Structure 1
Amino acid sequence: MAQVIEVNDPADPRLDDFRDLSTADRRPDRPGGRGLVIAEGVVVVRRLLASAYPVRALLGVRRRVEELQGELAGRDVPAYVASAEVMAEAVGFHLNRGILATADRAPAPSPEHLAENARTLAVLEGVGDHENLGALFRNAAALGVDGVLLAPGCSDPLYRRSVRVSMGHVLSVPFAEVEPWPDGLKWLRDSGFRVLALTPAAGAVPLSEAVRADERVAVLLGSEGPGLTEEAIAAADAAVRIPMSREVDSLNVATAAAVAFYALAERGTGGTARQG
């Protein structure tokens, strides 16, 4: 198993990857930080260990570290064991899940490489809420979406909260940035994708009527408040909507994405491209 190292001093410099995670301007996963990926809890850490992201270190109470003994076997990764009190002082808050891990980022694929063997893609415009982004990636993993393209204005999927809410699935669904925007959608269409813009607009076609069998589809989803821009909708092949009742005009973006992903999965067997 990985080298298990007892740590009793919260100021130990070996814990610097995990320090002050409640202080936004010091966090290593935020802009200006070191670009680290931070996983919380046994389930998410286990998915990090199985991913393509190079793991740097673990920090946890002994019981949680021992739960990962199988995954850590043969790994050259330090596993720092500390009391809950030492962890809380180093991290900046009490961690109910009992374990953290950090990793360096893996090289991101190009949009072209991501789309090459994909059948279903999600394209996000202005999705800035970390929890919605994490939930959306979890839905994508569950419902056969092959990858996610991020337009300008989206949050970083590898922020700590997004990784946690996704239950670590953001580490297995490949993603890439697409620019310029929305002109960058043209190459998707040229590559054989039908781009469907999801909008609550009354003039949009019901999603069930727009989905066709045996076609490559990119579903376009907008920000939590204003939704997709008019420019993005105009660059799509069709505007589609989820029919609703009781005067509800829209859904949370992660919920809407799940409905759309399920409808696309129902058109046939999808989900070919996965990363780590």
Structure 2
Amino acid sequence: MHGVGPWPGEWPEGEYFDPELLAHGDTRNVVDAYRYWTMDAIIADLDTRRHGFHVAIENWQHDMNIGSIVRSANAFLADTVHIVGRKRWNRRGAMVTDRYQHVIHHPDVASFRAWMDEREIPIIAVDNVGEAVPVDKADLPERCVFLFGQEGPGLSEEALAAAVAHIEITQYGSTRSMNASAAGAVVMYEWCRRWA
């Protein structure tokens, strides 16, 4: 069993503690610092510390990687995850982290771009096409959104055109592309290495 059992002894004081979890245990996939906290309290605390980057994924073919990208976004404390295209996505890979992570849906690239433009958040396309700059050599603004494409076809032409910069992950093997969720984790880690 992962997690912790009922709180031993006298209960701690604090509005952020959940009486149900204190009484019955906390088996959620959360770091120890958040054990026995209510979900709302965890979200509120995360909101005081979220990083300046957002993550966006085009979802035209019901990509199975979206849940894993959401989970990584939570692990790296992304501000928000944006789903562009189809609203439905497979939440299984998120391992319930979508409850703690802000997720916004945009029906198309145009509405996504308008949302970002309104907030002056530059769009950085992540795809190994054209003259993309390797992520370790690229300028990664403190406030930006990383836009990832579908597994296989990558980003649409409209999405590439919406971006102010294109970055890629240097690869050394025979495959043309890597798994989208793995690529997301690499890029988020690189941003955190510089700014977190």
Same fold (TM over 0.5): yes
Root-mean-square deviation (Å): 3.0
SS class of match (2:185) = helix
The Cα shift of 1:193 comes to: 1.3
Identity of aligned residues (%): 26
Runs of at least 4 residues of structure 1 off by over 6 A?
A: none
Identify the match of residue 165 of structure 2 among 235, 238, 246: 238
Which of residues 80, 86, 89 in structure 2 aligns to 1:153? 86
Counterpart position of 2:127: 199
What residue number does 1:109 align with? none
Q: Tell me which residue corresponds to 2:144.
A: 217
Range moving further from structure 2, 121-130 or 224-233? 121-130
User: Could you tell me how far 1:180 is from its partner in structure 2?
Assistant: 4.2
Q: Check the 8 A contact 2:87/2:107 in 1, yes or no.
A: no
Q: What is the aligned partner in structure 1 of residue 187 from structure 2?
A: 260
The 3 A distance-change label for structure 1 pair 260 and 180 is same
The structure-2 alpha-carbon separation of the partners of 1:262 and 1:71, relative to structure 1 and needing over 3 Å to count, comes to closer
The runs of 5 or more residues in structure 2 that have no matched partner are 4-20, 28-39, 41-46
CA offset digits 1:188-247 (Å, max 9, x no partner): 13412121011111421112222335x201000111121110111101111111111123
**Secondary structure of 1:128 counterpart:** coil
The 5 Å alignment of 1:15-94 reads 69-70=24-25
Indicate conservation of the 8 Å contact 1:42/1:67, yes or no.
no
Q: Show the counterpart of 1:128.
A: 62
Q: Which has the larger radius of gyration?
A: 1
The separation in 2 between residues aligned to 1:120 and 1:133, in whole angstroms, is 17
Q: Once the two structures are superposed, what CA deviation does each residue of 1:140-180 show, in whole Å capped at 9, x if it has no partner? A: 11112121011113533xx5xx24x3222121111011244
Q: Name the count of aligned residue pairs.
A: 158
Q: Do 2:55 and 2:146's aligned partners in 1 also have CA atoms closer than 8 Å?
A: yes
1:267 is paired with a residue of what secondary structure? helix
TM-score (norm 1): 0.50
Match of 2:52? 119
Segments of structure 1 that go 5 or more residues without pairing to the other structure are 1-40, 44-65, 73-105, 107-113, 270-276
Residue aligned with 1:125, SS: strand
C-alpha displacement of 1:186:
3.2
